[in-house]
Amino acid sequence: MPATNAITYEFPLNERIRVFIRLEQLFLQFAHFSAGGTVADKRAAISALLDIMAIFRRNDLKSEILKELERQSAVLNKIANSAGVDTSKLQDILDELAQLIQSLYAVTGKIGIQVMESDLFQSIVQRSSIPGGTCSFDLPEYHYWLEQDDSVCQKDLQHWASPFTDINTAIGFILNFIRNSRSASQEVAVAGFFQIALDKNQPFQLIKVNVDKSLACFAEISGGKHRCTIRFMEPATDDKRPSQCTDDIPFTLTCCLF
């Protein structure tokens, strides 16, 4: 089914990919809202940036991303001489991988530490734990910044986000490869239920489910690296909770392996 007519649900099969997808979503939100011109846009951009910083504080992301890039490079080098491989295209990909790896190794210290140590950001973090805690009377300096010209705010936002540029690029590269590593298969969930058994000897990374938008249901995926269950659920209404569909639901399934 064409992507434009489908809703895609993803289920990461390890913690590394789970964190990468969360960061990808936050980087997309930051890019969207930082281009906006309203105070609400600026607040949403700052909120996304604070969430990005919080993930970086809790995870050794540089190390995790380098491990994944080097793993992908090793896999691609193994298939370089296989029959049917476009060696020119493969070399371009390997060159891009090598450049990303080199850029990340060149980064010293904790990524984004200068932004994290900013007095303004520390005050915003502290007040953000309080519902509505970043009003003008709470943080007049933040209020002053929010009221500056769009060009000033956008320049500041891009500067604050610049330490994460290489990370963003690397995550996009990694996830794109994983998502496109295998072809999708056409499946049917009988009475809204489908189960997948995964080969434990294969490094599966991600499950992708595409469902036609015309179907009034959503995919609920659970499980782990050996077995996953997909239940198609009817959305909640005023008088009942979500419930499993009784109809057979056609969908496309991709078990991403790269």
- CATH number, position 193: 2.60.440.10
- Tokens 């993803």 identify what position? 10
- CATH number, position 140: 1.10.3900.10
Under DSSP, is residue 230 helix (H, G, I), strand (E, B) or coil? strand
pLDDT of residue 249: 97
Name the residue among 206, 211, 186, 202 with its Cα closest to residue 256: 206
At residue 258 the predicted structure's pLDDT band, cuts being 50, 70 and 90, is confident
pLDDT of residue 83: 66
Give the whole-angstrom CA distance, residue 11 versus residue 224.
9
pLDDT of residue 107: 83
Domain-ending residue, one of 177, 209, 241: 177
Q: Say if residues 171 and 178 touch (Cβ distance below 8 Å).
A: no
Could you report the per-residue pLDDT of 34-87, keeping only the tens digit for each?
999 899 999 999 999 999 988 988 878 888 899 989 988 888 888 777 766 777
Q: Say if residues 111 and 61 touch (Cβ distance below 8 Å).
A: yes
Could you report the per-residue pLDDT of 131-184, keeping only the tens digit for each?
999 999 999 999 999 999 999 999 999 989 998 999 999 999 999 989 988 889
Q: For residue 74, give its domain range.
A: 15-177
Percentage of the chain lying above the pLDDT 70 cut: 98
Could you report the per-residue pLDDT of 193-252, keeping only the tens digit for each?
999 999 888 889 999 999 999 999 999 999 888 899 999 999 998 878 999 999 999 999
Residue 121 sits in the same domain as residue 230: no
Domain-ending residue, one of 177, 211, 242: 177
pLDDT of residue 48: 95
Element (H, E) at 71: helix 61-78
Residue 161 sits in the same domain as residue 189: no
Read off φ and ψ for residue 8, nearest 5 degrees.
-105, 130
pLDDT of residue 252: 96
pLDDT of residue 45: 96
pLDDT of residue 2: 47
Element (H, E) at 18: helix 15-34
Residue 91 sits in the same domain as residue 162: yes
For 37, 40, 61, 153, 208, the CA distances from 50, given in Å and listed in that order, are: 19, 15, 16, 16, 28
C-beta atoms surrounding 224 within 10 Å: 10
Give the whole-angstrom CA distance, residue 179 versus residue 177.
6
pLDDT of residue 203: 85
Percentage of the chain lying above the pLDDT 90 cut: 61
Any domain includes 55: yes
Residue 135 sits in the same domain as residue 46: yes
Structure-token pair, residue 12: 């990461």
Is the pLDDT at 109 greater than 80? The verdict is no
Question: Which pTM does this prediction carry?
Answer: 0.89
Question: How many domains does one find in the chain?
Answer: 2
Any domain includes 59: yes
Give the whole-angstrom CA distance, residue 186 versus residue 9.
15
Cα dihedral value 74, 254, 13, 61, nearest 10:
50
